[in-house]
Amino acid sequence: MLDTVAVASKAKIDLETISNGPSNSRISKSEDRMLLNTMIACRFLILVIHFLTYAGTTTFASDRPETPLEKMKRERKERVKGRASGSNAADRQRDLEKRRRQLELEDYRTGKKKRDLPPDSPLRIGIKQRPRMCNARSKRGNTLRVHYNGTLYSDGKQVDCSIDREQPFEFVLGAGEVMEGWEKGLYNMCLKEKRRLVIPADLAYGNAGAAAAGGRIHPNATLVYEIELLRISTGTKG
């Protein structure tokens, strides 16, 4: 193949020498035509040689080892094709779950989210506001009227709020009408007092959290309630 290229190149050079030389006028028409045809044939031969060289390179490229970059691109194309065809649903679900865990860990690392307290943790009671005079305190059997705002401990998302509804909530303390965290956290509370309760899962909704509050509470969720006591009465609700 290299010899052919050399011959073609030499013929091209000789042709240019003859065409530009002083003896050009002595060349007959038949010889001129023959040299022109030779030049065209040489150029065509050169093009054929280049084409065969390129074709040989691409044909045998698959025989060489696959580079890491090529492997990564191939696997990515296969994943995209699999997602498009729907045949890789399990892999897609694993990828989504892995991505969700990565984002969750990043939120924990940056402080955007907090881990829920262990379900058997003790109840945390914080006093946000207490009146100077406490003439009445809540006790078992009292009917309490309260305003509250409930959020998730992990990310602060709201799960329920009587203030937004503009409708205070009433219940009988100690009658089992509310979660255990409320029963314990609102005992001995002054009228107009405000408390912040951090309630672990065992004193809230436990494993059934996903079914509570329209699915806004995940299983074993730690809840935070800010509660204001509006009224204490000894009679029935109403």
Mean pLDDT computed over every residue of the chain = 79
Phi-psi domain of 213 (left: phi exceeds 0; alpha: psi -120 through 50; beta: other): left
Average pLDDT of 33-59?
76
Q: For residue 14, name the pLDDT band (cuts at 50, 70, 90).
A: low
Query: Tens digit of pLDDT for each residue in 160-210?
Result: 999 999 999 999 999 999 999 999 999 999 999 999 999 999 999 988 775
Identify whether the C-beta of residue 171 lies closer than 8 Å to the C-beta of residue 229. Answer: no
Question: Is-above-0.75 flag for pTM?
Answer: no
pLDDT band of residue 57 (cuts 50, 70, 90) is: low
Q: So what's the pLDDT on residue 8?
A: 46
* Secondary structure of residue 129 in the 3-state scheme: strand
CA 230, chain centre distance (Å): 44
Determine the average pLDDT of the residues in 143-158: 93
What's 146's DSSP letter? Answer: E
Instruction: Map residue 211 onto helix, strand or coil.
Output: helix
